[in-house]
Every structure is written in structure tokens, then in C-alpha cells.
Amino acid sequence: MDTPGSQSSLHRANLERVLRAVRMAGSLTQAEIARSTGLSAATVSNIVRELKESGTVVVTPTSSGGRRARSVSLSADAGIVVGVDFGHTHLRVAVGNLAHRVLAEESEPIDVDASAAQGFDRAETLVERLLTQTGFRSDKVIGVGLGVPGPIDVETGAIGSTAILPGWTGVEPGRELSSRLGMPVYVDNDANLGALGELVWGAGRGLSDLAYIKVASGVGAGLVISGQIYRGPGGTAGEIGHITLDESGPVCRCGNRGCLETFVGSRYLLNLLNASHGPGLSVPRVVQLAQRGDLGCRRVIADVGRQIGTGVANLCNLLNPRRVILGGDLAEAGELVLSPIRESVARYAIPSAARQLSVVPGTLGGRAEVLGALALVMSEMGDSGALPQPDGSLHPRSVTAVSSGR
């Protein structure tokens, strides 16, 4: 074993820093690696040469600001990552490599809420089918990222008792999928995965401080602070849906009254239109009607935007993010919802906290969570996982790492 502080452990730590920077960005020039790791250009150059010789990274000529440069990315066969995203009504699976290429992706409609066992059966089949399609054996898989739309108990890794996922109470999704696939599984909630997806592949690329706000049946935020998801010690950071807006408002599923979610969650949004537009509406349909000029739907979307904006203003005052990315079906409404959000931010946030803020829709749509699941594995896999081992094999961490949920 290396002693901490020894020459070789320092070298190993530098190797891991370079690998992590490249893995999270997809590809970087050597100058960019030096900037993001704080290592000197000479050290980066030596490390890149070593990683190239071991086949861990590939170096391709590129140009940066008109100058010739060398772009470094992880080798396409350095390992495979799998993402599995359970929504309430769909299952989506993606297979990618560490060079950020999505090699295969598929989704199917499924009543996830009804039965966990059935959901896992389908997930297992789909993962195996996509791996076969890409031609990779399962021992090339470094890990599986798993997204669930319900609260996970951080201590036990089990889905808590909830009205949101009735067929899942007591299930430990990470352990279940890991034992079925024989692969390490990392679990997180949909908002954190959406944030990671947009950070690595979408509207948050190149930023290190952002919030992804998912507005669906529930409302939650994934917070990225200094390039890392912030989960808090209990894993519940980002519960923006339960900011109190009205002490005497409707009772929320959390037991409180007048939470943000009770004004903007899909159930509440659709309720507002029940009398005028009849039952059977969905959020995508409301967005479509609003875009065609339906005044009632426009009004409801604008009101919802203003309420979300109040939450965003609070978030700005606390965390001063550079970008807020709106996810979920409502984001498809574009300016109809974004302008009212910005108006509320201008009204309620401290000007200096909102000065550098941009409020934008996510660019990944319904793929944000599954791509975030791929990024979760890249972020959590442990840096030595991608380093070449003496026997040339991959040594993934074998434990199930369960992070937060709501």
C-alpha cells in the first residue's frame, strides 16, 4: 500500500484527478485539464502520456481558439455504463461508454406504480437486450445508475411508505436490481438525475453551479454546487416543492399546508382547469392548448410560472446559482412559463443574487433522467475504477451506493 503523502500516492491522486475531470466533461484539451484540476501543464502532459500508453485515454488533434490543441477523452472500451430510469408511466434504459457516447437507448410505457416486481422484470430484460445490441459483455459494465420517482430511505435504501409509489413500499430498488443483474447499482431520485443529465449533456454543460427544477406530479430540485450534486447529510436537499407559500393553503402530501407543490404539481394544475375544460386533461395537452391560444390554459401556466418563480427567488437568495433549468412536461411551454418565472425572480430575489442568473428549459426533455443515471455512475464509480489494473481488467466497486430520494 502507498503511504499517504508519498511520491507514488501523490502521483496516483493526480492521475485520478485528471481522469475524473475528463470523465465528467467527456473530452478536454490538456490546457482545460490543467485549469480544472489546478495541476501544472507539465504534470498534465506527463499524466496524459501515461494514460495514453496504458490505453485508458485517447488523444485526438483539435483546435482551441484557433490554436492547435490535443483533445483527451476516455477510451471507448474503458468501460460501459448503464442507466435505468423508472418514471410513473415509463421505463427508459440507456447504455453508454465513458467517452460520453450513448450506444443504445430505449423506452417503453409501463405502469411502474402498480408492481415493483414487474418493473424490475422489464428493466432486467431491457438492459440485457441493449447490452447484446451493443456487443458488450456484462463484465464490461462498470455500474448501473438507477432513477426512481419516489422517496428512498437513506439508511435502509428502501422506498419509504408513500402514496406516490403504492406498489413499491418497502422495496430496496438498488439491492433488487443489483442482485438481478449482478452489477453494482447506484440509486438517486429523478430531480438529482435530471440535474446531472443536463449538467453533463444538456443545458448546464460547462457550468458548475446550477439548479434543475423538475415540475411533475411532485416538485423537486437537483442542486449542483461547485460541480457536485448537493444532497445534504440526510439526502433530502432540494425539496423546493415544500417551501411554504400559504399557511392556510391546501394540505400537501407532506402534511404541511400551502407548499409550492400544492400550487404547481400536475394534480393541482389540472384541478384548476377541471370545471372549465372537463376531466381527462394532461399537462402535455394543457401546454398544447396554451400554445394554440387557449386563454384558460395560458392563464394557469402563467400563474404556475409565477409560483415556481417565487421558489426560484428563494433558491437564488440561498445559493446564487448561475442557471436554473426547468424540467418536466411543463418546460415544453417555453416562454409561456419561463417569462412569469423570471418576473417573480426579478420581484422577489435580491438583485445581486439574480444578476447572473439565466432561467432556461432543459434541452434533454424526457431523456434527462436516464442520461443523468449514466452520469451518476461516472461520478460515483470511484476514480480507481477506470484506472488500468495489472491484469487489464476493470475493478468496479461492488457495493450498492444508495444516495438520496424524495
Nearer to Zn ion (CB atom), residue 196 or residue 264: 264
Nearer to Zn ion (CB atom), residue 260 or residue 289: 260
Nearer to Zn ion (CB atom), residue 259 or residue 354: 259
C-alpha–C-alpha distance, residues 184 and 368, integer Å: 21
* Least gap, CB of 34 to Zn ion (angstroms): 46
What is the 3-state secondary structure of the chain? CCCCCCHHHHHHHHHHHHHHHHHHHCEEEHHHHHHHHCCCHHHHHHHHHHHHHCCCEEEEEEEECCEEEEEEEECCCCCEEEEEEECCCEEEEEEEECCCCEEEEEEEECCCCCCHHHHHHHHHHHHHHHHHHHCCCHHHEEEEEEEECCCECCCCCCECCCCCCHHHCCCCHHHHHHHHHCCCEEEEEHHHHHHHHHHHHCCCCCCCCEEEEEECCCEEEEEEECCEECCCCCCCCCCHHHCECCCCCCECCCCCECECHHHHCHHHHHHHCHHHHCCCCCHHHHHHHHHCCCHHHHHHHHHHHHHHHHHHHHHHHHHCCCEEEEECHHHHHCHHHHHHHHHHHHHHCCHHHHCCCEEEECCCHHHHHHHHHHHHHHHHCCHHHHCCCCCCCCCCCCCCEECCCC
Nearer to Zn ion (CB atom), residue 28 or residue 219: 219
* Number of residues that this document lists for the chain: 406
* Least gap, CB of 328 to Zn ion (angstroms): 17
* Least gap, CB of 267 to Zn ion (angstroms): 13
* Least gap, CB of 243 to Zn ion (angstroms): 9
* Least gap, CB of 259 to Zn ion (angstroms): 3
Nearer to Zn ion (CB atom), residue 7 or residue 248: 248
* Least gap, CB of 221 to Zn ion (angstroms): 14
Nearer to Zn ion (CB atom), residue 72 or residue 252: 252
* Least gap, CB of 263 to Zn ion (angstroms): 11
Nearer to Zn ion (CB atom), residue 176 or residue 261: 261
Asked if 201 contacts 100 with a C-beta cutoff of 8 angstroms, the reply is: yes
Asked if 79 contacts 98 with a C-beta cutoff of 8 angstroms, the reply is: yes
* Least gap, CB of 288 to Zn ion (angstroms): 29
Distances (CA, A) of 220 to 151, 231, 240, 333: 11, 12, 5, 19
Nearer to Zn ion (CB atom), residue 259 or residue 286: 259
* Least gap, CB of 261 to Zn ion (angstroms): 5
Nearer to Zn ion (CB atom), residue 214 or residue 367: 214
Nearer to Zn ion (CB atom), residue 258 or residue 366: 258
* Least gap, CB of 93 to Zn ion (angstroms): 31
Name the β-bridge partners of 92: 85, 107
Residues that bind Zn ion (CB under 5 A): 242, 252, 254, 256, 259
Name the β-bridge partners of 62: 69
